[in-house]
Amino acid sequence: MKKVKVKELQRNEWQIERDLVVKEGKVYMLKDEELRVEIIQLYHDVLAAWHRGQWKMVKLVTGNYWWPGVMRNVGRYVEGCDLCQRMKNRTEEMAEKLKLSKVPEKLWTYLMVDFITKLLLVAGKDAILVVCNRLSKITYFVATIEGISAEDLARLFRDNV
């Protein structure tokens, strides 16, 4: 990344951390169209934003980066993605149908299972399997890996929950 001279920074909300220009905790992306598109692409294709539509993308990208026109750039990128457009319509539909879930009557009838991912690798594990019994609220946390197979997950579940 290119260096920016201090004299180009005008207000005190701008800071230089290492070689990065930081504004209110966000990395200011220099005017390098390719690099900006690369960041949008990274969030869109690889990270959690996977085809979640424009606003989710804007939120994720601007959580860490900022540049003039970032919202327009993200918007244009998402508009160009067929799948994003379809997902957008789908989330709107689902939002209308949101209902409170029924309280389960028996223990172990309903479980919530989720993964906490993108963790630092510790002892070969980079994710946590979270299993919560909806009635008792007893929650199990099991260290695992993000790319776990269905078979290994079943084994993990049997041995730990």
Q: Which parts of this chain interact with Zn ion (CB under 5 A)?
A: 51, 81, 83-84
Minimum distance between the CB of residue 84 and Zn ion, rounded to whole angstroms?
3
- CB nearer to Zn ion: pick between 88 and 125: 88
Q: Given its phi and psi angles, is residue 17 left (phi above 0), alpha (psi -120 to 50 degrees) or beta?
A: beta
- CB nearer to Zn ion: pick between 21 and 56: 56
Question: How far apart (Å, rounded) are the C-alpha atoms in residues 90 and 9?
Answer: 43
- CB nearer to Zn ion: pick between 3 and 59: 59
- Supply the angle between the helices 54-62 and 70-79 in degrees, to the nearest 10: 140
Minimum distance between the CB of residue 62 and Zn ion, rounded to whole angstroms?
17
Minimum distance between the CB of residue 91 and Zn ion, rounded to whole angstroms?
13
Question: How far apart (Å, rounded) are the C-alpha atoms in residues 107 and 131?
Answer: 13
- The Cα-based distances of 47 to 41, 43, 82 in angstroms read 9, 5, 18
Question: How far apart (Å, rounded) are the C-alpha atoms in residues 153 and 142?
Answer: 10
- Per this entry, what is the length of the chain? 161
- CB nearer to Zn ion: pick between 83 and 112: 83
Minimum distance between the CB of residue 51 and Zn ion, rounded to whole angstroms?
4
